[in-house]
Amino acid sequence: MDSPFEKELLFSRMVIETRVKELAEQISKDYADREPLILGVLNGAVFFVSDLVREMSIPLKIDFIRAASYGSGGSSSGFVKFTKDPELPIRGKAVILVEDIVDTGLTINQILRKLRERAPESVKVCALIDKLERRDMDVVIDYCGFQVKKGFLIGYGLDYNEQYRYLPDIYAIVKRGDL
């Protein structure tokens, strides 16, 4: 079946691999004397988390949350609930929240707010992509893979209508027709 759009390679699997290793080294240094809880946001961060933790050189725990926007207007509503809660305890833990992409910043802000209610020792944000164009809210991204100015990206966990997450490289969609 014809793809409904053209796509343009943005970050190859090798470029991603190199950057993920650098992030893992940095986090391992920063958390050398601690055992962080790596909290991945499903589904988009699944490959990023699994590659990141396997490059880390410190003891750590892994858990996942799933967050869904509700209210009017999809992700831009800014109200998020956990449709999958963390299962490991958050209280007193050094949490590193791992996201695929930060766009407006609303989702990550809501997730952070909900996590902080659970009294972690600290929460830092690690995002593979920091997409700047539509940022509505201040977000501190402590560990950032790549910054992009704009565009809609797919691959390496990023989806378009739940498709294309499995692509090993990251592409920008080049719009075609009425997409």
Catalytic (active site) residue 103: yes
CA–CA dist 27, 154 (Å, integer): 25
Out of 30, 103, 169, 178, which one is annotated catalytic? 103
Beta carbon of residue 157, minimum distance to ligand IMP (angstroms, whole number): 9
Burial, 142: exposed, middle or buried (Cβ in 10 Å; 0-12, 13-18, 19+)? Answer: middle
CB of 89 to ligand IMP, least distance (A): 24
- Give the nearer residue to ligand IMP in terms of CB position, either 27 or 127: 127
Which residues make up the interface to ligand IMP (CB under 6 A)?
44, 75, 99-108, 131, 152-153, 158-159
Please give the Cα distance from 2 to 44 (Å, whole number).
24
Q: How far is the CB of 54 from ligand IMP (least distance, A)?
A: 22
Residues 6+ apart with CB under 8 A from 168: 13, 155, 156
* Residues 139/102, Cβ–Cβ less than 8 Å: yes
Q: Which is nearer to ligand IMP, 31 or 128 (CB)?
A: 128
* Enzyme catalytic residues: 103
